[in-house]
Chains A and B, each alone.
Chain A
């Protein structure tokens, strides 16, 4: 019981502390690749502190949804983060839900963000919401199928079981091809869901291209801080999912302090590696036209579907 409480507190702290660092790291990598020095990787922390201190300005046309959304978004994303094994293969909330709950907790945050985008009645917000709705509805099938393919290879929809089995090489290694297909699909889905470059550009405020930024244009002060923090958290949750499901080695499988230390170090290395990779990928590709996003997400869907088919065919 005490163990479980300690675990919840530790994982919450780790997730909340690492999320801004990942955002800063990606920005730094992109800046270096553009031959700029770039801000420090700890700049997002300073931004969050500054925003949290400022007084929010709220449009008089908004309803309660607008002020409730940042809290709902932040809480649901954090809850989703607590369903994913981070540095230990046990998850704090594994009694409460599995990988499907994770998908819908993230979708709940997206849903409220879309409502909030519409709520203020500005044209940009509505445009961002409608674009986000397109992207979210297209990512959903790919995400569900890829997650099912991974769950099937491990024989469980519980993430801690999947990661535990993979880390100890039980059951999951019998056929890598479904796993590879599901992994590729999951990477594409993660890029689309977290609004990274080929789908959305997090560094722009140009009305032609923005999706996520358009929805949060009306936010300021502590609300903006929460929304930004939640966006970083969502990115971190996806990176954690990818890192720990496909390569969970090094993760702690028991509560020994030494194992926890190694698990934490391995986790930071893996997530930072993925963040650097995202920074490089974002520098290599241009943003897709909105109507070309279907091509990319169609590919994710087909790959995830093939992952499922491979599983059934290879297992006969």
Chain B
């Protein structure tokens, strides 16, 4: 049987792996590798959620974990790969902030997340003590990546990374949201990915580029 301290450490390890893939996404220039990293991150997320479900005995988290694998590790990466293939863009070339500076800023964001959650952590559940800080860090990194990258595909991945962070946060803070809420969120994310895929294709058709900076040229 897994004792609570060891279980807590395993959950921590899972969360840390999520954070590690976040840094991979920030440092990566090739779009298809970004998608693969996102799929990997979703698998880690599902593993962490399964671990939490197993250790707490709350069964509906299993369903959420299974849905995570199905939607975020299989369906959405496929949609994204299709989009990338159609757009024929292989690399992110337009960056507002270059890679080393992005990495430094992300490191700072992680520290900020830890500082913010520091007062709350002692009141949380024992099992997912440190995951809350990491979840907040992932949300912040996703947010930063959306700002720092100009291509629509990377922004989509960043949005999905933020969503992963929120899911981890929900699992860490309350052992998961009610099942019906989670089903709704999964459906929303899937639809958002579909819409963003279509919108990216439209962007490509209109401007011959997926640089979202072009959108500011639109007039009524």
On A, residues with C-beta under 8 Å from B are: 173-177, 180-181, 184, 294-296, 298-299, 302-303, 305-306, 309-310, 313-314
Is B184 an interface position by the 8 A CB rule? Answer: no
* C-alpha spacing A302/B27, complex, angstroms: 11
Can you spell out 11 A-B residue pairs with CB atoms less than 8 angstroms apart? A173-B9, A174-B5, A175-B9, A180-B13, A180-B17, A294-B100, A295-B103, A305-B107, A306-B19, A309-B114, A314-B130
Is A176 in contact with B9, judged by CB distance below 8 angstroms?
yes
Q: Answer yes or no: B145 CB below 8 A from chain A CBs.
A: no
Is the CB–CB distance between A306 and B12 below 8 Å? Answer: no
Q: Which residues of A contact B114 (CB under 8 A)?
A: 309-310, 313
Q: Tell me whether B27 and A296 are in contact (CB under 8 A).
A: yes
Residues of B near A175 (CB, < 8 A) are 9, 12, 130
Tell whether B135 is near chain A: CB-to-CB under 8 Å.
no
Contact A313:B103 (CB < 8 A) given known A180-B13, A306-B110:
no
| Whole-angstrom CA separation of A173 from B5 in the bound complex | 10
**B70 at interface (Cβ–Cβ under 8 A)?**
no
Candidates B9, B13, B17; contact of A174 at CB < 8 Å: B9
Is B12 in contact with A176, judged by CB distance below 8 angstroms?
yes
Tell me, in angstroms, the Cα distance from A177 to B11 when the chains sit together.
10
Instruction: Tell me, yes or no, whether B106 is within 8 Å of chain A by CB.
Output: yes
A294 to B118 CA separation, bound complex (whole angstroms): 32
Inter-subunit contact A302/B23 (CB<8 Å): yes
The prevalent SS among residues of A at the interface is helix
| Residue of chain A at shortest CB distance from B16 | A177
B interface, size bucket: 20 to 34
How far, in angstroms, from A177 to B118 measured CA to CA in the complex? 16
Residues facing A in B1-35 (CB within 8 A) are: 5-6, 9-10, 12-13, 15-17, 19-20, 23, 27
Q: Which of B5, B103, B118, B130 contacts A302 (CB 8 A)?
A: B103
Inter-chain contacts of B118 with A (CB < 8 A): 313
Q: Is B99 an interface residue (CB 8 A)?
A: yes
Q: How close is A246's CB to chain B, nearest CB, in angstroms? A: 12
Is B192 an interface position by the 8 A CB rule? no
Q: Are B110 and A309 in contact (CB under 8 A)?
A: yes
B130 in complex: contacting residue of A177, A295, A305, A309, CB < 8 Å: A177
A299 touching B12, Cβ below 8 Å:
no
A309 engages B111 (CB within 8 Å): yes
Among residues of B, the one whose C-beta sits closest to the C-beta of A313 is: B114
Per-position contact with A for B92-116: 1 when CB-CB < 8 Å, else 0? 0000000110011011001100100
CB distance from A177 to the nearest CB of B (A): 4
**Contact partner, B23, options A173, A303, A310, Cβ 8 Å:** A303
When chains A and B are docked, how far (Å) is the Cα of A261 from the Cα of B104?
Answer: 45
A177 to chain B: which residues have CB within 8 Å?
12-13, 15-16, 19, 130, 134
CB <8 Å contact, A295 and B111? no
CA distance A114 to B110 in the complex (A): 37
Please determine whether B16 and A176 come into contact, CB atoms closer than 8 angstroms.
Answer: yes
Nearest CB in chain B: distance from A286 CB, A: 10
Given known A-B contacts A177-B16, A180-B13, A295-B27, A306 and B99 have beta carbons under 8 A apart: no
Query: Are A180 and B16 interface neighbours, CB within 8 A?
Result: yes
A294 to B134, CA, bound (A): 26
Given A296-B27, A309-B111: A302 in contact with B104 (beta carbons within 8 A): yes
B10 contacts across to A, CB distance below 8 A: 176
Report the Cα distance A9→B6, complex, angstroms: 39
Separation of A161 and B23 alpha carbons in the complex (Å): 31
Bound-state CA distance A85–B95 (Å) is: 44
- Give CA–CA (A146, B27) in the complex, Å: 19
A-contact bits for B157-179, CB 8 A (1 contact / 0 none): 00000000000000000000000
Do B15 and A298 touch across chains, with their CB atoms under 8 A apart?
Answer: no
**Chain A residues near B12 (CB-CB < 8 A):** 175-177
Apart from A306-B110, A310-B16, list 19 A-B contacts with CB within 8 A: A175-B12, A176-B9, A176-B13, A176-B16, A177-B19, A177-B130, A177-B134, A180-B16, A181-B16, A295-B100, A299-B23, A299-B103, A302-B103, A303-B20, A306-B19, A309-B114, A310-B114, A313-B118, A314-B130
Q: Which residue of B lies closest to A298 (CB)?
A: B100
For residue B4, give the distance in angstroms from its CB to the closest CB of chain A.
13
Determine the chain A residues whose CB is within 8 A of the CB of B111 once the complex forms.
Answer: 306, 309
Residues on A with beta carbons closer than 8 Å to the beta carbon of B107: 302, 305-306
Chain A residues with CB under 8 Å of B100's CB are: 294-295, 298
| Closest 5 A/B residue pairs (Cβ) | A177-B16, A298-B100, A302-B107, A176-B13, A295-B99
B16 contacts A299, C-beta separation under 8 Å: no
Report A171 CB to chain B, min CB distance, Å: 13
Q: How far is the CA of A313 from the CA of B113 in the complex (A)?
A: 11
